[in-house]
Amino acid sequence: MSQSVSRLGQRRARSERAPRQPFLRLPGPRRPRRVAMFSVHTSPLHQPGTGDAGGMNVYIVELARQLAAQGTEVEIFTRATTGALDPCVELAPGVLVRHIDAGPYEGLAKEELPAQLCAFTHGVMQVWAGHRPGYYDLVHSHYWLSGHVGWLAAERWGVPLVHAMHTMAKVKNAALAEGDTPEPAARVIGETQIVRAADRLIANTDEEAGELAFHYGADPSGTAVVHPGVNLDRFCEADGRAAARHRLGLPQDALIPLFAGRIQPLKAPDVLLRAVALLVDEDPRLRSRLVVPVVGGPSGSGLAKPEGLQKLAAKLGIADLVSFRPPVGQEQLADWYRAASVLVMPSYSESFGLVAAEAQACGTPVVAAAVGGLPVAVRDGVSGYLVAGHDPAEYARALRRFAADPHLAPRLGEAAARHAQGFGWGAAASATAEVYAAAMHERRGRLRSLHGLHG
């Protein structure tokens, strides 16, 4: 930690003496040929929507594919969760997934993984030992557990470390859902160390960049804002709402508020259920029109009460309206988005909210909490509505608009699809590659300076 603190001080001193140019305006620095990505706690091959697999999985997969398409090979290191996995799997041309043995394959919670970071790092170093020096040009770590492995690997390999938090303990703890478990102090300490050690931090939004500076003392000149993307080929309007409802066996004239994501207090699916209960209490006629799909599986602290949401639906008297569906693949998820009248996302914290962007790309408006990156993902009053807080009555009020006006969902949906066009993964990958190039450019400059001083 003392080395990282010293390095941060040097970096800040340099920025005070001579302001650094913005990342994307450096004069033609070389992009990396090959990047080592670390995703310790969740594999890019896992099904998003259950366990610890979610938006970060989608982010890593799509970013890696686009980087490879643009000429940068990517190797993703993740923890093996079954002995049946091949040590190395090709995810896409130019993208490899390397499975590292670290701890038991099954039954290991994310909270227990810090004790396996040494074993994971050892596995990473074994892979590296089989390559020539300079094989990896840069390390890009995702989430704080990966950041600690990335920190050591980058130091050992003499390459820059670029880190993406995805979520932050201090931010989550400041907006904790009722009954949810706070993030431990060990994670806060770990995140602080990574912020100090990284050559560059990537934030999803300007707000996240500000949170990094406010909560963790991140140097603003070392943080780049890169909006995540959407696979616009997969998530699109395609043949429309009617066809999607036909494929999923849903009634054509129903009002369908959809929840899609991991079922845990942080994502607040209970807020949607309580809002629906309020709607039918106020207007019992809506009961015949409402279908409420909940697509996803228990995750995080939600694993402690996997049947909690079903019990809540029964308690609220809306069990007949709510349809619980397991996580689905991306193609079928796109159909759920298209079929919905509106996606409801009442999360307590979201670094960006890829689900909101995906739904809009499919022509579906969004009602979301005005937290984290959601005000960037959703244009309030244009592609959907943002709600301050988590009062079910406020969400019921927003949903009532869709119930009262059958033309509202199609009208907002058209604007939502246009808005989502600004979130392509190609642009996100290009911007990320520029961040890589800037980090490499600066490191080479530091090495030249050191050689000059010692020459």
Annotated binding-site ranges: 41, 47-48, 52-57, 110, 143, 167, 187, 262, 267, 328, 337-338, 340, 350, 358, 364
| d(C-alpha 408, C-alpha 70), whole Å | 40
Q: Which of 259, 320, 262, 258 is nearest to 286 (CA)?
A: 320
| d(C-alpha 304, C-alpha 243), whole Å | 37
In the annotated binding site for UDP-N-acetyl-alpha-D-glucosamine, the residues are: 47-48, 55, 262, 267, 328, 350, 358
Q: Give the Cα-Cα-Cα angle 119, 163, 8 (nearest 5 degrees).
A: 100
DSSP 172-217: HHHTPPTTPPPPPHHHHHHHHHHHHH-SEEEESSHHHHHHHHHHH-
Q: Which of 395, 166, 436 is nearest to 269 (CA)?
A: 395
β-strand partners of 203: 225
CB 327 within 8 A of CB 49: yes
CB 204 within 8 A of CB 225: yes
CB 54 within 8 A of CB 300: no
In the annotated binding site for Mg(2+), the residues are: 337-338, 340, 364
Give the count of beta carbons closer than 10 Å to the beta carbon of residue 174.
12
Coil/strand/helix, residue 62: helix
CB 38 within 8 A of CB 149: yes
In the annotated binding site for 1D-myo-inositol 3-phosphate, the residues are: 41, 52-57, 110, 143, 167, 187
Give the count of beta carbons closer than 10 Å to the beta carbon of residue 202.
26
Tokens 């990473």 belong to which residue? Answer: 124
DSSP state of 31: P
- With both helix axes pointing from N to C terminus, report the angle between 143-157 and 185-197 in degrees, rounded to the nearest 10: 40
384-390, long-range: CB < 8 A, 24+ apart: 384/342, 384/343, 384/356, 384/360, 384/412, 384/416, 387/346, 390/177, 390/268, 390/271, 390/346, 390/348
